[in-house]
Every structure is written in structure tokens, then in C-alpha cells.
Structure 1
């Protein structure tokens, strides 16, 4: 399947905000308002949908969430869709999305991570439209650390122009910032040092392929279904597969990765990137060991502690982009090209 890149976003374009999984509680609405205002100040028209309720774990019934998302993705006036964040059970919208209508429509940017992996990764695999993993709307007010790129820079970049990201060497120990007490936070607290780690051995890594991946806890539930079938994706090019753990312990992550491998998700991987995680180790198995146990049999480079997960800062990856990852003793970078 050929990969289709939505056209670059321009001032005056409309951005749709909807919650395919979890909505926003009232106490966090000030942060949402600031994020929306930031987009408007950049010259975009922002339309907030009806599916935004944050009183439970879902923003609306599944049929309503699916209809609103499909509507935005097939509306030629909406050029990007950005949810406030992920959630828990976004999987329930998948059988209700009109993938045929989305495939026929002009490509629209969709941005998100965490439970949004449940939506954006199938969107790319089933329609060929590139999607952005690595930021959510609520993260947008943050200033981007040196070496990284924001989702807004990616979706506004000229087609075919490569962009390079490098690890900033620092990350946040706490899982979340206090958006209730400080909704206007713009500086990420990066209070620990750390960079990428090769898990499968020593030596330099230099691998290329189409990027695809997402959150292990959500994607594992799609393994073996048409929603996570990489067999026909990107015309049989090699893949750079990225995965990241949110919160499950090492035993669960190990089982999930084994299942995804057995279902063929990693069959065409030229390398695997693994996000840094706060998820706990298990008594006899660390998170790194869990990855190596499940994915070591692939025989490809495995690079861990990449900034592509739930630990800030965030390194956005474009599902469907051509990627090249380099990791040596003196250099770590990923280059993406939106062709």
C-alpha cells in the first residue's frame, strides 16, 4: 500500500479537536483552553467537537465518538485532528469507523499517542495515510527541547523535506506535571539524565525503513487482526518498528510483545525502537529484559530508552514516513522524510 502524506498545514486551516477515547474533566479544562488558544494564536481555526466529556473514562458512546472522528476525517475543511490525549478503551471505535470513506477522502493529519495508538496506527495501515505519534493537544503548550521537533513543525513541513531529531539527554522522573494547579506550564521538567541504549548487543546501528508502531498495551489487543496487519503495508519495504510501555509490569509487556511477534507485527522490522518507560520491572524481569526476551529472536538491532513514549520529553514519529536510525558511541539520531 502506498503511503499518502496529508498536505502541509497552513495558517487559516481548520483543526478539529475530539476525544476518540477519554475526554477532559472540568478541572483540566483550563489546560485545554490554553492549548486551543495557542493554536488559534498561530493562525489556525480550531473547532472543538461534542465528544469531550471527562466525567468517565469515555468522552461519549462509541458510536458518537466514531461518527465525530469519521466526520472530521472526511470533511475537506478539517486539515488536522488532534485529541486532548489518549485514554483507556478507544478500541471500541475501530469497528465503527468508516475506513472506506476515510480512504477516499483527502488525507488529514491525525496526531496523538497512548490510547490514540489504537486509532492512528490502524488508520495508517488500512488507509495509507501518514499519522503522527508523540504529542497530544494538552502537550502542545510546552516548549520543545533542543534536539526534538514538535508535531506542529512536522505537519507544517514541506513535503519531501527530511527532519532530524536527537536525544536531548534528559528526561522527566515524575509521570505528570501539575496541570490542575499550573495549567499554563510551558517548560518541561527534565530532571534526570539518560540517552539511548542498545539492548541486543554492542556495535553501531544504522537502519532504514518505514516507521510504524505505538503503545504496547493498546496495540497488543489488535495483534492478529486486520487493524494491525503490516504484511501489505508500504509495498513490502523494510520497517522501523517502535513500541513503548505505558504502565504494565515487565511480565505483561513480555507476554504482549511475544504475542505481537507471533502475530507477525515485527516480521519486516529492520530495527526496533523502544520508548523510555516508567512502567515497573517484575521481580525477576526488567523492562529491558522483557523486550529482549520477546524480540531478541528477530535478530535485528533493538534500541531502547528512545523518547517516543509516555516519559517526557516527546520525540514525534510519523507512521508511514521513511526513517533512518543511527546509534553509535558518539551519535544518536533519527531522520524522517515525509515523501
Structure 2
């Protein structure tokens, strides 16, 4: 049986934020960016504790056992109110079965914030422990100014809500660290707009769950990604969100079929799809990949949300009760942390 949902207490000025790398670490120009981001948080009144697993010279910041132990320690430490990684990486899946799940189940929940490869860890934290987790900026993105309509992740973890966000209409990009390691304004590269597949309007409510397709798909069908069992324990439907990082449309199609077969969408009221720059196949677009896998489910699909690897970022709380409205000029999501 899925555990009851638990929301970490709101972050307060002076609280401690833990920084560790469950996947990739930082070095060179990237390390300079992370140092700036840590100073940025400290400048806003937070006490920042930097862990030992931060090395960016290899694929991961440290051996899996060490990364799992440090993440467990930070999440279980009552003095740490929030944990955020520098960014994602490639192989966070190697530590999900090394976390001390019994120790975490025995303590009060702590905010875990991030996206990309970190969703490999955030998903089971929510589905196995019942802890709400926040899909939004990683530490490297945290100093960027938030466009109109969206909220900073610090606002969501610090307030009581409900939190209302609206489509920003913007498509942006990061500044390369070697260009400006202290960047705080997104590079505007285009415009975007949420839209419902097939046109029309949408007004649905459900519990949020999701992540980066390339990473969470490999948890489907395992005890660490049993979204169907988690959803069965809820008192209503889910709203599943997904986003592709860089994999080919054919691979994304396969991953989504696997998630569908594992029951990820059985209780869904809608699917939210993030913008992507991932490549198409000559015979299959990224949208076509989603429709091939999920079109048969007769679920509403909302395209082009600001979630994932095409910034800016619309933070979503796994476990939050979300109302999604797309109707005429309204493109809005309201999250309630209860």
C-alpha cells in the first residue's frame, strides 16, 4: 500500500540547505557557477552546507555507496530543510537501491529539489515514502530571474499556497558557464504556448507525478517506479507530467510505451508534456512519439509546458493537488500542498 502523502515544512529564512551531487559533480567553469549559486543562496539568508560528493572530474561525483549515504544523511538530518543538487547527470539510478529507506521512513520529510537525472531519485522518494518533492530548477539555475507568470522554486517550498502559475509564453536558454558564470537573466530564444492536443479546452484536477522520460522510464515496473500502485492509494486521479531531454524520438516512443505498460497512466486525468529540443526521426517526431505511445489511452495531452530541459522552469510538486486549465486565453496551473 502506498504511504500517505507528507509535505515538508515550509523553508524559513536562516534554514539550512544541503548541496550534494547524487549524480554528476562540478569542476572547472561549472564549479565556478556552483560557487556563485551557493553564494547567491547565502546572500538571501540561507545557511548552505556543501557535501563531500561534488567532484566533477568523472561521470559521477563519487562512488554510488558514498553518494547514497550522503544523500540519506542530508535528507534525514532535521537541521537540513532542503536538499538541492548542482544539476543532473547520467546514472543516478545506481543509488536508488542503496538509500537507507527505513531511516528515511522514520523521519520527517525534507524538501528535495531538482530535475533531469535527479528525477530518478525524486520519483521513489514520493512513491515509496509519500514525501512531496519539487521538480524545478537545479542549483545551477536557481539565480535566474523568473519570468512573469511563473514562480521561483523557493516560493513553493517557503509558502503555504495555493500556488498559481501561468504560461510565460517564453522559450529561453542558459548562458554557457564560460560566457558568464554569474548569469541571472535567461537568454530569450523564442516564444511558446501551451496547447491541448486536438484543440479545445481543458480543466482537470489530480495529483502531480512525473519527471524526465529518459531517466524515470527505467524505474517503471520496479519497486522504485511503481506509479500505478502509488496512484491506486490516492483518493482521486493523477496528472502525469513528462519531458524529454535529448534522446531520439524512437527511444522516447519506446520509453513511453514501457511506462504505459507499467500502468503509469492508468489513473491519469491528463498528461502534461514539456518542451524539448530532442531530435526527431525522419519518420517520427517527438510529438508523434508521445501520440504513438499514449494516443490510444484517450487522455487529454497538453503540449509545450515550461518543464524540463528547455527553460524557463515551471516548478511542479510531486504529490501536490493540481488544477490545470487551458481555455481560451487562460493557461494556468494551481497547486495545493495538502
Cα offset for 1:41? Answer: 1.2
- Give me the whole-angstrom Cα distance separating, in 2, the residues matched to 1:49 and 1:61: 14
Corresponding position of 1:207: 204
Q: How does 1:79-118 map to 2 (within 5 A)?
A: 79-118=81-120
**Is the Cα–Cα contact under 8 Å of residues 42 and 48 in structure 2 kept in the other structure?**
yes
Q: How does 1:78-157 map to 2 (within 5 A)?
A: 78-157=80-159
* TM-score, normalised relative to structure 1: 0.97
Structure 1: which 5+ runs fail to align?
A: none
Corresponding position of 2:23: 21
Corresponding position of 2:225: 228
CA deviation vs aligned residue, 1:181-236 (integer Å, no higher than 9, x gap): 2111011012201111222x232111110000000000111110011112332633
Structure 2: which 5+ runs fail to align?
A: none
Aligned to 2:295, the other structure's residue is in SS state helix
Aligned to 1:227, the other structure's residue is in SS state coil
Cα offset for 1:57? Answer: 1.2
**Is the Cα–Cα contact under 8 Å of residues 248 and 280 in structure 2 kept in the other structure?**
yes
**Is the Cα–Cα contact under 8 Å of residues 2 and 233 in structure 1 kept in the other structure?**
no
**Is the Cα–Cα contact under 8 Å of residues 190 and 312 in structure 1 kept in the other structure?**
no
- Give me the whole-angstrom Cα distance separating, in 2, the residues matched to 1:283 and 1:94: 36
- Give me the whole-angstrom Cα distance separating, in 2, the residues matched to 1:44 and 1:253: 39
State the number of aligned residues: 334
Corresponding position of 2:192: 194
Cα offset for 1:296? Answer: 0.9
Counterpart of 1:45 (choices 44, 47, 50) is 47
- Give me the whole-angstrom Cα distance separating, in 1, the residues matched to 2:284 and 2:39: 45
* TM-score, normalised relative to structure 2: 0.97
- Give me the whole-angstrom Cα distance separating, in 2, the residues matched to 1:185 and 1:27: 13
Corresponding position of 1:185: 183
- Give me the whole-angstrom Cα distance separating, in 2, the residues matched to 1:104 and 1:72: 14
